[in-house]
Structure 1
């Protein structure tokens, strides 16, 4: 097993499929979501991709793009909910019912935005299908998820970025989520396969 090659492939695959998550994570951190819940939700979402990638590669299951595209409804629904909450009371931080509500919302957005993750992870796990290779790929994806969350959190707390992100984060988050959902749906149903 060539550790360096697998690590390089894992980093490249993660960056290529999750570059947009930095912006979304920054918005979530700046909109008042608890940092632990954002990180937990991101790990849950990426963990689902890894599990689906491994399972799909093991049984040669092909997930139709329209099924993934239907997940675009999740960020639209969350965005509409956030917009209604924003209109209701502009001065309060987001109110999240339940202990894990924020983490589940973040996981739903991560999963809905991850059609490209599944498209990349399934053939990747099919190519690197030895137990050690699968373990190394999964470990790298989890490490990269932590790095992604740390970078997004750092940027939101950085003095040059923090003030602007906190000021506009809550206001634009609903529109970004709705736009993301619309894009996911359009990619699945309007782009010829």
Structure 2
């Protein structure tokens, strides 16, 4: 394997996925104390990222599953999930942290996958030309490096969510921050993609 292409793949992954660490930390904070939450978050992150790779790979090699014009509308996924999380936070606004934790079952794999996929809409635009010029062999190296780095990103998100200072803030404010971040991501994707003429 070419060391240069591994370095390029690692750099490309880091640049296009830096925002995922914050989202993962929020999901891990929400999953604190819920059995199987770490597994569901990890599975969801991999499902969402695999969907990104499938769409980017298909587009790079001639078959498109997702028309380019549809990509901005992926912002509707985190927007809807953020609104849902905001409504849940509003309903339980007077609950203690323990009561909020008891009413929430932690993030579901498909919820994490949907946010990962929607947040990766811009990744698809970056990965398509890279995969097309790298060819099948080069793309397989990119994909392998990306899948290894997804595990690193999941570990980093979990690490940040479990640091005492961060965990304290997230346990106190995570139920507010998560909807704000998801709604912000959704609106950013919609606006930057030109959805609805925005």
TM-score where L is the length of structure 1: 0.87
| Pair 1:109 & 2:115 matched | yes
Say whether the 8 Å CA contact 1:57–1:125 is kept in structure 2.
yes
**Separation in structure 2 between the aligned mates of residue 161 and residue 96 of structure 1, nearest angstrom:** 21
Per-residue Cα deviation, 1:29-78 (whole angstroms, up to 9, x for no partner): 11227111111111111111111121111116596553111011111111
How many corresponding residue pairs?
Answer: 187
Tell me the residue number matched to 1:35: 38
Tell me the residue number matched to 1:167: 172
| Pair 1:157 & 2:166 matched | no
| Pair 1:4 & 2:3 matched | yes
Tell me the residue number matched to 1:182: 187
Alpha-carbon RMSD: 2.3
Q: Please give the secondary structure, in 2, of the residue aligned with 1:39.
A: helix
**Separation in structure 2 between the aligned mates of residue 134 and residue 28 of structure 1, nearest angstrom:** 30
**Separation in structure 1 between the aligned mates of residue 64 and residue 25 of structure 2, nearest angstrom:** 34
Unaligned runs of 5+ in 1: none
Say whether the 8 Å CA contact 1:65–1:188 is kept in structure 2.
no
Summarize the alignment of residues 12-31 of structure 1 with structure 2, pairs less than 5 Å apart: 12-31=11-30
Tell me the residue number matched to 1:47: 50
Per-residue Cα deviation, 1:8-37 (whole angstroms, up to 9, x for no partner): 111111111101111111111112271111
**Separation in structure 1 between the aligned mates of residue 184 and residue 90 of structure 2, nearest angstrom:** 18
**Separation in structure 1 between the aligned mates of residue 3 and residue 142 of structure 2, nearest angstrom:** 11
| Pair 1:136 & 2:136 matched | no
Q: For the structure 1 residues 142 and 13, does the alpha-carbon distance in structure 2 shift closer, same or farther, using more than 3 Å as the test? A: same
Deviates more, 1:5-14 or 1:59-68: 59-68
**Separation in structure 2 between the aligned mates of residue 62 and residue 47 of structure 1, nearest angstrom:** 14
Summarize the alignment of residues 50-69 of structure 1 with structure 2, pairs less than 5 Å apart: 50-59=53-62, 61=64, 65-69=68-72
Unaligned runs of 5+ in 2: none
**Separation in structure 1 between the aligned mates of residue 104 and residue 169 of structure 2, nearest angstrom:** 22
